[in-house]
Amino acid sequence: MPAPPLLHLAAVSIVGRKRDHNEDSFGLGPVGGTLATTSGVAASLVWAPPGVLLMVCDGIGGSNAGEVASSLAVATLAEHVGRAEFTPEAFRSAICTTAAVIRAKATEAPGLQGMGTTLTCLWLQGGRALWGQAGDSRGYRWRRPRGSPAAAGPPLLHFTPEHTPVARLVRGGLLTPLQARQHRKRHLIDQALGNAPEGFAPEVGPLELQEGDLVLLCSDGLTDGLDDGALATLLEHHGDEPAAQLAQILVAAANAASGRDNITGLVLRVGEPAAPAWRPFGWLTRWIRR
C-alpha cells in the first residue's frame, strides 16, 4: 500500500493597509497535538497524516475583543477536536462547544461584550476531510485540470456556504455574484461563534481531496480584494509554488487590490503539485501572456 501523501501547510495573516490591528487568527497542525495558533504572523509546516486540523477565524467586536474571540476559537476548537470522533456530528458538536466558550468569555468583562468570530475549518483524518463553517470566511479547493475539464468540474470550488443575507440572495438567484460584491450590506453576517445559542447553526460537510489538490481557507479581507476569477487566475499561474510562497502571493495580491481589512490566507497542498494538462502550443500561449 503506498504511503499517504505529505500535507504542506502555510498561512499568512496581515493587518492590511487600513486597520490598526489584526483581529484574524489561524491554526494549523496535528489533531490532538500542538497547533500553530496565532494572529498576525506567518507559519508553515509539512505533516504526514493521519490527522490534521486547519482553521481561519475573523474576529468581531472591535478594539481587542475580536482578536480575543478569534484566538480563543482556534485554541478551544483544537482542544475539543483532539478528543472527538471523526464524524460530522462530533465535529459540529465541537464547534458548538467552542461557541459556548466564547459566549461565556464575553460575559467576563465589559470590553468583551458582543464579541464573536467567524470560523472556516477543515479536519483531515485517515484520507477523508470534513469542513466546518460559521460566517463569511471561505474555503476553496483548487484542482489543476487534467484530461477532460468538463468531466473534472470547475478547477476552483468554493465549498463553504456563506452565512450572510446577501449570499443567500445569490444562492436563490435574486442577485448575481457581481451585484453581491457591490452590495452595501455584503459584510453583514448572521452566523458567528458568539451568537445566541438558539440562533447558532454552524454547517459541516465532507470534502473530496486527491493528491495534487490545493485548499485555501481565508478571511473576507482576501476575497474583498480577489474575486473568484482573480483568485483562479492567480492559482493557475502560481499554484505549483511552495505552500508558504503561494500564501504570501495571495495575501499580497489581495492587499494591493484592497487592503481595507485584515487579510489571512491558509494554504494546504495534498502531496505534490498535479501535473498540468498537456495543451498543444502551450509554450506559445505562455509567451503571448508575457
The DSSP annotation for 206-234 comes to E----TT-EEEEE-HHHHHH--HHHHHHH
Going residue by residue through the chain (290 aa), what tens digit of pLDDT does each one get?
567 789 999 999 999 999 989 999 999 999 988 787 766 667 788 877 789 999 999 999 766 799 999 999 999 999 999 999 999 999 999 999 999 999 999 999 999 999 999 999 999 998 899 999 999 999 999 999 876 555 556 899 999 999 877 777 777 776 777 777 776 767 778 899 998 888 899 999 999 999 999 999 999 999 999 999 999 999 999 999 999 999 999 999 999 999 999 999 999 999 988 765 544 444 333 433 33
Note the pLDDT of residue 152.
58
- H or E element: which one contains 246? helix 243-257
For residues 273 and 259, give the distance between their C-alpha atoms in angstroms, rounded to a whole number: 29
Cell of 53: 486540523
For residues 122 and 240, give the distance between their C-alpha atoms in angstroms, rounded to a whole number: 21
Given a contact cutoff of 8 angstroms between Cβ atoms, the answer to whether 35 and 53 are in contact is: yes
Tell me: the pLDDT tens digits for 20-72?
Answer: 899 999 999 999 887 877 666 677 888 777 899 999 999 997 667 999 999 99
Query: CB burial class (10 A; 0-12, 13-18, 19+) of residue 251?
Result: buried
Scan for cell 458538536, then name that residue. Answer: 93
Torsion angle (degrees, nearest 10) of CA 54, 134, 171, 86: 50
Q: Select 7-289's CATH number: 3.60.40.10, 3.40.120.10, 3.30.565.10, 3.10.20.340.
A: 3.60.40.10
Note the pLDDT of residue 147.
63
Note the pLDDT of residue 231.
97
For residues 30 and 124, give the distance between their C-alpha atoms in angstroms, rounded to a whole number: 9
Helix %, strand %, coil % for the chain, to 5?
Answer: 35, 25, 40
Scan for cell 495534498, then name that residue. Answer: 270
Note the pLDDT of residue 278.
47
**What percent of the chain is predicted at pLDDT more than 90?**
67
pTM here?
0.89
